Structure 1
C-alpha cells in the first residue's frame, strides 16, 4: 500500500490497462497460456447491451481482481441482470483463441452467464441449448467475429485444447467453454 492508498496490484492494473504492448505468440495456446508472457487481454462488445470491454486482466502471473469483476459484469445474464463470478480459465481460452486468429476486431458476445431461468426459456425455444449448460456455471461464452468464419474461430479455440468448442454455422457463432475438452457441430 502506498501513502495515497494505491496498492501495487492496483498500480499494475492501471499501468497494464493503459500501456500499449505487443502480445506474445501463444504456442499451443492454452496450457494456461504457458509462455504467453506477463499480460493477457480480452476484447468484446455486446450488441444486446451496447457495452464493450477491452482490457488487460492478467499481469505478472495474476488475474487482476478489479478487472475480472468488470468482465463478470460485462458477461452477465443481460435478460435478468444477474452477475456471477465467471471462471477465469474461460477468459484465457477466449483470449488465446483471439490471439491465434490475429485480429484486432473484438468478439461480439452473444451469451456469457445464463441464469437457470434464462437457460430454461432458451431451451424451450431451441434444441441446441443444453439442460445443464456450462453457461449457468459461468464457464462458457458464445462468440462471433465479423472477420472470421465459424470454422476459423472454432479451429483457434480447438487449438487451445482446453475445453468445449461448439460450431454453430446456422447462427454464425462459436461456443467456447472451460469444461471437458470436446467438440460438436463441426
Structure 2
C-alpha cells in the first residue's frame, strides 16, 4: 500500500503535467509572436495540405517544428518521410524576407525516396537527377504566390547558398543546399 505522502506527491505531479499539457496548444501561437521566431507557411500542390509552423527561435531549431515540416514535405507518392535539411528552411525564411512576401510557398516536391526518384526518371519526367538531392532531404521545388518566378529565382541565386534550378515551363524553382550553382 502506497504511503499517503507519496500518493499526494504523485497526484500533485500528475496535476502539474495535466495543466502543462492543456497549456501547450495555447503556447504554440505565442511562439509565432516572439520577435526572433522563424516561421514558414506552405500549401502543397499535390496533397492539398497547408502548414504554418515556427521552425526556429533565434538560432535554435525547434524539434516539433522540424518534425511537422518533415511530415509535410514527405514523398507524396509513397508517403515515406525523410529528414529535411534545416538549412533549407533557413534559405526559405531568408527568401521570404528578401522578397517581402507573406504568401505561403506552394510546394511541388520536397523529399523523394529512391524508388519514386527512379520511377520519375524512367517515365521521362524532365530534370530528375539520378542522385537527386531530394532523396537526401536537401532539395525542394516550389513557387511563391504573387511573386514572379524569375524574381524568386533571382532572389534565390542572390543568397549564394546552394543550387537554384529554373523551370518556367513547369512553373517552379528548384532550391537545394548542395554546392552553389544554377541552371
> Is TM-score (shorter-chain normalized) higher than 0.5?
yes
Contact kept, 8 Å, 1:76 with 1:114, in 2: the verdict is yes
Q: Contact 1:98/1:156 (CA < 8 Å) preserved in 2?
A: no
State how far apart, in whole Å, the 2-side matches of 1:96 and 1:51 are.
23
Q: Which residue of 2 aligns with 1:39?
A: 37
Partner SS state of residue 127, structure 1: coil
Q: Is the 8 A contact 2:104 2:145 kept in 1?
A: no
Q: How many residues align?
A: 167
1:68 alignment partner in structure 2: 66
More helix by share: 2
CA-atom RMSD in angstroms: 2.5
Query: In the alignment, which residue of structure 1 is the partner of 2:127?
Result: 128
1:17, distance to aligned residue in structure 2 (A): 3.6
Structure 1 residue 42: Cα displacement: 1.2
Could you tell me which residue of structure 1 aligns to residue 30 of structure 2? 18
- Counterpart of 2:116 in structure 1 is 118
SS of corresponding position for 1:93: helix
User: Which of structure 1's runs of 4+ aligned residues deviate more than 3 A?
Assistant: 13-23
Q: Aligned partners of 1:14 and 1:62: how far apart in 2?
A: 21
Question: Distance between the aligned counterparts of 2:111 and 2:167, measured in 1?
Answer: 18
Deviations 1:156-186 (A, max 9, x none): 11222111111111111100111111111xx
Contact 1:110 1:143 in 2 (8 A): yes
Cα distance in 2 between the residues matched to 1:96 and 1:16: 22
Q: CA deviation at 1:117?
A: 1.1
- Extract unaligned runs of 5+ from structure 1: 24-37
Aligned partner of 2:3 in structure 1 is: none
Distance in structure 2 (CA, Å) of the matches to 1:43 and 1:85: 18
**Any stretches of 5+ residues in structure 2 without a counterpart?**
1-15
Q: Residue 45 of structure 1 aligns to a residue in which SS? A: strand
Instruction: Indicate conservation of the 8 Å contact 1:39/1:56, yes or no.
Output: yes
Higher relative contact order (CA 8 A, sep 6+): 1
